Structure 1
Amino acid sequence: MSTQPLRPPVKAVTFDLDFTLWDLTGVLHHAEAVCQGLLEQRYPEVAARFDRDGLRALRNTVAEETPAIAHDVTALRRAGLRRAGELAGYHGGELDQLVEEAFEVFLEARHAVTLYDDSLPLLRALQGQVRVGALTNGNAEVARLGMEGYFDFALSAVELGAAKPSHLVFETAANRAGVPASQIVHVGDDVHSDVYGASNFGMQAVWLNRDGASWPAEVPRVPHHQVTSLAELEGMLLGLIRASA
C-alpha cells in the first residue's frame, strides 16, 4: 500500500500554492485578458497581430526553442512578449517598456486569487509551531498577497532554476527549514509535482485531493497520505506537532 499515516516528529510543513491554498480557476484567463487589453491600448501593433491564443502559441514556440527556460513561467512569458513585440516592429527601449508594462499588469491580475476557506485557519494554527514554507512552480508571490507573515521561506521555480518534482526544490526547502526531510510534511494538489516529488526526496507527502480524483496511471505510486481538505489536515498536524514536542 502506498497510502500511509503521517508520523512524528514533524518540524516543518511546506505547501504548494495554486489549487492548494487558493483557487486558480479562471485567474490566468482573466490575467491574460487584462494583458491583452493593455496591449490594445498601448501597443496596438502587437494586439493586432497576436490575440491571447496567438501569444500562447508564441510562448510554446519559445519554450521549444529555449528549453532552458521552459520551467520558468516568468522568463517564458517575458520572452513571449518580447518576441511578439519584435515581430510587430518594436525594438530598443520601447520594446523593453512593452515587456515590462505587459508583464506587470499580467502578474498583478494573476494574483487576484480566492483563498480556500480552510487555508488561513491552518496557516494561523501552524504559526510559531513549526517552520512553514511555500514551494511553487508558478510565479505567485506570497508577499504580493500580503501573506508573507505566514511563511518562514518561499521558493519558486523562477528563483531556483528548477521545478517540482526536481530534488533540487525539495533539497533547498529542507535546507531552508533546517530539519531532515523525514521531519517535513509537504502538502500539494498535484500528484506528480508535489506528492511524487516530495515522497521521492524522503518527505512525508500529503495529497490534497479535494475532488476525490483517482491516482493518475502514468505516475508511479509512492508512499503518501491523502486528505480532502486542509481542515482535516489541520487536526492531524496539530496532533503530530504535540507528539513531536
Structure 2
Amino acid sequence: MSVSTVLLDLDDTICAHPGSPEARLADAFGRAGVEPFFDVADVRPWLARVTAETELELRERCFGGIADELGRDRADALAVARAYEDPDPEAVGFLPGAEAALGALGANYDLALVTNGGRETQTAKLAALGIADRFEATTFAEPGRPVKPDPDPFDRTLATMGVSASEAVHVGNSLRSDVAGAQAAGVEAVWLSTADEPVAVTSEHTINSMGELRTPPWT
C-alpha cells in the first residue's frame, strides 16, 4: 500500500483536557443532586449512536438513552446532562508524543482531521494548540450529517483531499468510532490503544503512544 494521506482524530488522540471526564461526570451528578447510576464507559457507546447539533443536546440524548435502558428516571439523566460543565476548549494540551508525531507525519504525508466534535469547539482547540494550518482538510460534526463510525465523514474527507481510500490511513483512539468508521470507508486504521472497549473490532495497526508515529507502522 502506498500511503499519501494520514487522517487523524483530535480528542484523546492529539490532545486532551486537564482533568478527567470521570471527574467532570461525578461533579455533574453532585451538582444535579442525583445518585450516580452510570459512568463514562456507559456513555462511550452512545456517542456513536446519536447525533446532535450542540454538546448539551448530545449529552441529553446519550444520558437519556442510558436512563431508558436502565429503567431510570429520564428527568434525572437530563438534570445531570445540564449540570455537566464542558471544559474550556482552549484549555487543551498535546498527548505525549503527539506534537512531534504531527511534525514527522507532516513532513512526509498530507494530513487531514476527522473529528466528531463541532466546528466552533474544535476550531478553538486547534487554534490553542497552534496546529490549524497542519491540516489540508478538516471534517467536523455538522448538523444533520452522520458522524464516525459512519463512513460519511471519511468519504467527505477523502473527496476533499482528492485521494482514494487505499491511499489513506486513519489514526484514532476509539475502536468503535475511529477504527470501525475508517474500515467502513475502506481506510486502514491505526488504533491508539488507551483503554479497552467492549467491541469486536480489530485495527490493522496498534500503537501505545502517538510518539510511535514518528516511524509509521504502515511503512
Compute the TM-score of the two structures, normalised by the length of structure 1: 0.59
State which of 140, 148, 155 in structure 1 corresponds to 2:139.
155
Contact 1:10 1:183 in 2 (8 A): yes
Instruction: Output one character per residue of 1:64-106: Cα deviation in whole Å (capped at 9) or x when no partner.
Output: xxxxxx52352645998xxxxxxxxxxxxxxxxxxxxxxxxx7
Matched, 1:144 2:127: yes
1:220-239 correspondence to structure 2 within 5 Å: 221-236=201-216
List alignment gaps of at least 5 residues for structure 2.
Answer: 35-49, 61-84
Compute the TM-score of the two structures, normalised by the length of structure 2: 0.66
- Taking CA–CA contacts closer than 8 Å with sequence separation of 6 or more, which of the two structures ends up with the larger relative contact order? 1
Higher helix share: 1
Aligned to 2:165: 181
Contact 2:12 2:173 in 1 (8 A): yes
Instruction: Output one character per residue of 1:29-86: Cα deviation in whole Å (capped at 9) or x when no partner.
Output: 8999xxx9xxxxxxxxxxxxxx5679xxxxxxxxxxxxxxx52352645998xxxxxx
State which of 112, 119, 122 in structure 2 corresponds to 1:133.
112
Matched, 1:14 2:2: no
Moved more, 186-195 or 150-159: 150-159
How many pairs were matched up? 177
Decide which structure has the larger Cα Rg and report it: 1
State which of 96, 100, 103 in structure 2 corresponds to 1:124.
103
Aligned to 2:70: none
SS in structure 1 opposite 2:54? Answer: helix
Contact 2:51 2:58 in 1 (8 A): no
State which of 174, 180, 185 in structure 2 corresponds to 1:201.
185
Change (3 A) 1:222 1:117: closer
1:13-92 correspondence to structure 2 within 5 Å: 13-24=6-17, 26=19, 70-72=50-52, 74=54, 76-77=56-57
SS in structure 2 opposite 1:233? Answer: helix
Q: Indicate the percent of aligned positions where both proteins have the same amino acid.
A: 27
Instruction: Output one character per residue of 1:101-142: Cα deviation in whole Å (capped at 9) or x when no partner.
Output: xxxxx7781331121131111111122422101111123225
Q: Which runs of 4+ in 1 moved over 4 A?
A: 27-32, 51-54, 75-80
Contact 2:18 2:91 in 1 (8 A): no
> Hey, what's the Cα distance between the residues in 2 that align with 1:162 and 1:23?
24
